[in-house]
Amino acid sequence: MVQMRVEQYVVGPVQTNCYFAVNEENGETLIVDPGASAGKLAKIIGEEKLKPVAILLTHGHFDHAGAAEELAKQFDIKIYALEKERETLENPDLNLSGWEGKTLSYHVDCYLKDEEEIDLAGFHIRVLHTPGHTVGGCCYFFSYQNVLFVGDTLFAQSVGRTDFPRGSMADLVRSIREKLMTLPDDVTVYPGHNEITTIGTERMYNPYL
């Protein structure tokens, strides 16, 4: 089994967690939700001699997708997201880029389907559609490493906001129960904000579930 090292970097005005999923054997790296600070993230990649392979977006809000295109161009890599998130990514009213006083549309190279399985950087990844925070939000499950990147779907003893355009608390709770709570207790959960948790901890203590 390929060993993974996860590096966490807090970026942007709303303290978003960007993650590097690093293949310990060869340095190949997946960048998850680079919402801001492209220069800072690129500097770290250079200093650590990492080899970026792709960018994974859990959803299309500005604080998760904002630096993706700049990094993709710099390292000549592709950006991945769920196909049902295309409108959120491309529509400034839905991607909330107006929060920063901008009107932006975010580009994605590869659109994925629910339950699609892909192999990147030596990792096998299962894509889980988890609507609620946004229509096409998703989580990335690395089953061999017991790692789950959840974006703003699930937080430590909380869940993502659903008061943004097209959010739905009913959809969000259903997504978590049906897609995430079926995973093993020892899966480490890397959320888009705040601290890291596990499926077992959330199953036991999350008041929304």
**Residue-wise pLDDT tens for the chain (209 aa)?**
899 999 999 999 999 999 999 999 999 999 999 999 999 999 999 999 999 999 999 999 999 999 999 999 999 999 999 999 999 999 999 999 988 788 999 999 999 999 999 999 999 999 999 999 999 999 999 999 999 999 999 999 999 999 999 999 999 999 999 999 999 999 999 999 999 999 999 999 999 99
Going across the sheet that includes 110-112, the strands are 4-11, 16-23, 28-32, 51-56, 78-82, 110-112
Q: Is 154 exposed, middle or buried (0-12, 13-18, 19+ CB in 10 A)?
A: buried
Could you tell me the pTM of the whole model? Answer: 0.98
Model pLDDT, residue 85: 98
- Both tokens of 69, joined, read 């295109």
Name the region of 189 (left: φ>0; alpha: ψ -120 to 50; beta: rest). Answer: beta
Distance of CA 171 to the CA centre of its chain: 18
Model pLDDT, residue 37: 97
Q: What is the C-alpha separation between 5 and 14, in angstroms, rounded? A: 25
Distance of CA 56 to the CA centre of its chain: 6
Whether the Cβ atoms of residue 81 and residue 111 lie closer than 8 Å to each other: yes
| Phi, psi values for residue 106, rounded to 5° | -100, 135
Model pLDDT, residue 99: 82
Dump strand ranges (E) for the chain: 4-11, 16-23, 28-32, 51-56, 78-82, 110-112, 117-120, 123-129, 138-142, 147-151, 154-155, 158-159, 188-191, 197-198
Enumerate the domain spans of the chain: 4-205
Closest CA to 12 of 73, 88, 100: 100
Closest CA to 195 of 4, 3, 6, 8: 8
Q: What is the C-alpha separation between 135 and 129, in angstroms, rounded? A: 9
Q: Which residues, 6+ apart, have CB-to-CB distance to 98 below 8 Å?
A: 92
Superfamily of domain 4-205: Ribonuclease Z/Hydroxyacylglutathione hydrolase-like (3.60.15.10)
Model pLDDT, residue 45: 98
Q: What is the C-alpha separation between 189 and 118, in angstroms, rounded? A: 19
Q: Count Cβ neighbours within 10 Å for each residue of 165-176 and write b for 16 or more, e otherwise.
A: ebbeeebbbebb
Model pLDDT, residue 145: 98
